[in-house]
Chains A and B, each alone.
Chain A
Amino acid sequence: MKVSCLQENLSKGLSIVGRAVSPRSALPILSNVLLATDEGRLKLSANNMEIQIDCWIGARVEEEGAITVPAGTFADLVNALPPEQVDLELIPRTQTLNLRAGRSQANIKGLDAQDFPAMPLPEEQEGIPVEADALREALRQVTFSAATEETRRILTGVLAWFEGERLTLVATDGYRLSMRVVPLSQPVEEPFKVVVPARAMTELSRISGDQEDPIIVSLSPAHNQVVFRLTNSVLTSQLVDGNYPDYQRIIPKKYKTRTVVDTAAFLKACKMALIFARESSHVATLHIRPESELAAAHMVVAATSVETGDDSVELDATIEGDELDIAFNVRYLIDVLSVINTPQVALETSDATLPGVIRPVGDENYVHVLMPMHLG
């Protein structure tokens, strides 16, 4: 293998695939990055057995070939090089990669590319185009609700349901649930549901930062992997096996009280409540007070710590329905309020023991459900 490319491109490519490297894997080759010539470009790949990221960068290929080199060392080296042309040459006898840039040169010992457990990429095929910004925003609004503990694996994934002219993304950890609908530009021919690991979704958001064209989503032929195709890179992820909970049943259809408040003010009040709430299992209580003879409609966000003190913030609100005191994990409130873009947010509640629903006012496509907390 003998190729030349620009240091900037190589560095950027490495940063894209870098997160799919598993630095402390039992399989040493998984901490390596694969370099391979591919139809006149240089392909970089990293794989941690759950996700694989491939990235193509422009290069001048003089001699075809492939090698894997330790990802950390290689990236450090490349980042230390001057921003000019980098020549890479594999010395097959020793499986050593020689780098040259300007007056610097280095040799990295590699491992045979044959041993790299790359997930086979499906043939270039038709997929479902999803608008990149919309998908990224949807993932931001949904992924945080996925479970982080591995104990119930299905919940560590994000449900992606392609049907008709919409993609529905859902994540839940058993205490809260986020759902976002992303409109599609063309109807899906064959509807399908997959559960994608939340980590893969996080990486997808990260690498699609300056993606302008739609992201093409497809399934591997065996339907056991999902492939997100970007302009110069591809993220392939294993799927989470299992039946995803029936989220539609979880989202309440009715409510008794609807409270509309300023999103930013609510978020700010929650952040203040967190100061005390973090010492008492993050409990913040919302006192929802419809308009009365004594006062205009308002909602109070309050937190108490027996040890430290307490605080409360009163927010102007538009309230339909009955008054209610309901407690939530304030971290959950902060998580959801942080991803809502509309100026106003609605909280729908029925009872202190029943789930609350948070919706951005004027955006029908997002719903967040969260279970209250109890003291007792």
Chain B
Amino acid sequence: MPIHVLPPDVASQIAAGEVVERPASVVKELVENSIDAGARDIHVETQAGGKQLIRVRDDGCGIPAAEVELAFHRHSTSKLTSADDLTRITTLGFRGEALASIGAVSRVTLDTRAADEEVGARLRFEGGRVIERGGSVRAPGTTVTVEDLFFNVPARRKFLRSDRTERRHIDAWLTRYALAYPDLRLTVSHDGRVTFRSPGSGALRDVLIAVYGLEVGAAALEIIADRPSADITVTGFVSPPSIHRAGRGFITLFVNGRWIQDASLTYAIVQAYQTLLPAGRYPLAVVMVHLPPADVDVNVHPTKAEVRFRDGDAVFRAVQRAVRYTLLERAPVPPASVQPAAGIESARRDRLAHLAPAARQLGLAQPAPVGRGADIPLESGAEAGRLPPLRVIGQVRATYIVAEGPEGLYLIDQHAAHERVLFEKLLAERKRAAVPSQALLEPRPVELSPEAASLLMAHRETLASLGFRVEPFGGRTFLVRAVPALVADEEPQQVLEDLATALELGDEPLGEQIAESVARWVCKRAAIKAGQVLTVEEMEGLIRSLEQCASPRTCPHGRPTMIHLSVSRLAHEFGRT
């Protein structure tokens, strides 16, 4: 057979195969178009798992009547004008292939009205050809109805699975969009029955509840960035260590609002849970990575499910750190992992052994970093959140406070606990614009390194909101006029120099989080130190204050403030069980 150029309809069917694999791909392409069109409300309807019918109705900007036909041409798009634009893609679609590909393998009806046009347009398209044109009277937006998918590609049709499987694939995609766009109202119905509805409240947690149910949704920990860099931000939710699943399938990743599959980032998330989850169990996570469009290449794969990062390592680190930090900051008290006394190896211990192998090896001196570790089955109520009322028993090594609560024994690091107390108070005061600041009798000159000076200059207002009144005094010299009352016992000059050094060393993040890092620094400085002998009243005061904290279980730097030995744990260690 001689070589010849394929007729266009054959070529487009082949190309369509790359984009349109199964009904879910159609749904994905159409929903992406709707989102790119600025839709707030999207209805997705399917019949027979999408094989018979897929209809996506949105309230987006619509397509002007004059351009409707063009929309079905391959490589026609409104989202991109030059190759240059490819480096800064902000829309989900851009290839201009979706409608053309879908149109090549199904019967498509496009019903649309642009917001600024009186009358809309209606176009029927079958196997790549326009078979009907007309006007349409409807609200602004677009409805795309795809019928008889693959009617002209029997080979493809044969490979479609059961209705249920195809529906599952569709739902998986729709779930991702619901998570990625919490302000989108997404309604899904299969065979005439509404099966999913995202609230469109704009709150991701609401979507989580809609997707994963109240228990998971309510317990999920919102990711808090520990050191957000200007370029990469990580948001979303991760499950607390007490909730886990058997597979990685509950880890959902988005990059700039686009769902992606990335083994490396999935691994970053799983790794952040190291020692916290039983072997073979995986967290639930919805993690969104935002980075400048130029730093990520989404034009790698036709379905755009894979992306390439300019600096993959940085993204990996950012994700892992953010998740880890969130767990440290938000997760429950780490239980003390006590080295069992020799000979006490009950059947129960053996049963537990596999749950936290790492914690088991650490011994008493080194508690498991965080999480419930070996105690998972033993403990019940020790969830994240506020502390139960604690009774002070005493102080150990002038460093740790020993306290008793309804759930057992607590060892509290006095410095970390005090840091936490001061930190929450300081941030609250800052929010009320009421950080007490002590003015100096005479402004004190401080000369800083050029970098520290420019940092200080750039963040003067933030510093002022935390009680530092600092004025430039020519060159790299500043005048300290007031310092936060918390550190007023110290030499102001020294305080400012040290702060500038800390900022300069970049140990603390800069950018929008600078306020928190300065606050952390101030609180670290002001907090009682290890080695300070406390009276019972002082200890009680500290514990009372800690009980008031929103995140009493970690210090602002993420280290635990306390170790919990549950009643059952104690009983167990003494062989009383």
Contacts and interface: CB of A to CB of B under 8 A. Distances in A.
A372 B465 CA distance: 17
Nearest to B436: A281
Contact of A283 (B469, B485, B491, B492): B485
Contacts of B440: 174-175, 371
Contacts of B577: none
Interface of B: 428-429, 432-442, 444, 464-465, 467, 469, 482, 485-486, 488-494, 548
Central interface residue in A249, A371, A372, A376, by most chain B CB within 10 Å: A376
A151 interface: yes
10 contacts: A148-B489, A149-B491, A151-B491, A152-B493, A250-B441, A280-B436, A283-B485, A355-B441, A369-B441, A371-B439
A258 interface: no
A375 B429 CA distance: 9
B433 A376 contact: yes
A113 B441 CA distance: 47
A374 B437 contact: yes
B438 A306 contact: no
Nearest to A172: B441
Contacts of A151: 490-491, 494
Contacts of B482: 374
A282 interface: yes
Contacts of A152: 491, 493-494
A353 B438 contact: no
B441 A174 contact: yes
Pairs of residues from A and B, 4 with the lowest C-beta to C-beta distance, nearest first: A151-B491, A281-B485, A281-B436, A371-B439
A244 to B, nearest CB: 12
B442 A374 contact: no
A225 interface: no
Contact of A174 (B429, B437, B444): B444
Central interface residue in B442, B465, B469, B494, by most chain A CB within 10 Å: B442
Nearest to B432: A306
A149 B433 CA distance: 29
A131 to B, nearest CB: 30
B436 A283 contact: yes
B442 A174 contact: yes
A177 interface: yes
A376 B494 contact: no
A143 B486 CA distance: 23
B493 A375 contact: no
A372 B439 contact: yes
A174 B445 CA distance: 13
Contact of B439 (A283, A306, A373): A373
A249 B433 CA distance: 32
Contacts of A148: 489
A327 B440 CA distance: 14
Contacts of A283: 436, 485
Contact of A375 (B433, B486, B494, B548): B433
Given A375-B434, A376-B433, A176 B441 contact: yes
A376 B428 contact: no
Contacts of B493: 152
Interface of A: 147-149, 151-152, 172, 174-177, 245, 249-250, 280-283, 306-307, 327, 329, 353, 355, 369, 371-376
A281 B482 CA distance: 14
A329 B485 CA distance: 9
Central interface residue in B428, B429, B491, B548, by most chain A CB within 10 Å: B491
Given A250-B441, A329-B485, A374 B494 contact: no
Given A149-B491, A175-B488, A373 B437 contact: yes
A375 B435 contact: yes
Contacts of B548: 307
Given A152-B491, A282-B485, A329-B485, A374 B444 contact: no
Central interface residue in A151, A176, A373, A374, by most chain B CB within 10 Å: A374
Given A152-B491, A306-B428, A375-B436, A281 B486 contact: yes
A373 B490 contact: no
B209 to A, nearest CB: 32
A282 B492 CA distance: 18
B433 A175 contact: no
A279 to B, nearest CB: 9
B428 A373 contact: no
Central interface residue in B437, B440, B464, B493, by most chain A CB within 10 Å: B437
A146 to B, nearest CB: 13
B528 to A, nearest CB: 15
Given A280-B436, A327-B436, 4 more contacts: A282-B485, A306-B428, A369-B441, A371-B441
A329 B434 CA distance: 14
Nearest to A177: B441
A307 B444 CA distance: 34
A177 B439 CA distance: 13
Nearest to B492: A174
A272 B465 CA distance: 29
Contacts of A355: 439, 441
Contacts of B486: 281
Contacts of A373: 436-439, 485
Contacts of A307: 548
B398 to A, nearest CB: 16
Given A152-B493, A282-B485, A307-B548, A329 B435 contact: no
A176 B440 CA distance: 8
Contacts of A369: 441
A307 B485 CA distance: 18
Contacts of A327: 436
A175 B495 CA distance: 15
A250 B442 contact: yes
Nearest to A355: B441
B491 A175 contact: no
Nearest to A282: B485
A113 B486 CA distance: 47
Given A174-B492, A374-B482, A245 B442 contact: yes
A371 B485 CA distance: 12
A249 to B, nearest CB: 8
A376 B492 contact: no
A172 B493 CA distance: 16
Contacts of B428: 306
A327 B435 CA distance: 13
Contacts of A172: 441
A283 B432 CA distance: 15
Contacts of B433: 375-376
Contact of A376 (B434, B490, B491): B434
A147 B490 CA distance: 9
B518 to A, nearest CB: 15
Contacts of B442: 174, 245, 249-250
A242 to B, nearest CB: 13
A66 to B, nearest CB: 38
A376 B462 CA distance: 11
A315 to B, nearest CB: 23
Contacts of A176: 441
B155 to A, nearest CB: 71
Contacts of B464: 376
B468 to A, nearest CB: 11
Contacts of B429: 280, 375
Contacts of B436: 280-283, 327, 373-375
A249 B443 CA distance: 12
A157 to B, nearest CB: 14
A209 B371 CA distance: 61
Nearest to B484: A281
Given A283-B485, A307-B548, A374 B490 contact: no
A152 B494 CA distance: 9
Nearest to A246: B442
Contacts of A372: 439
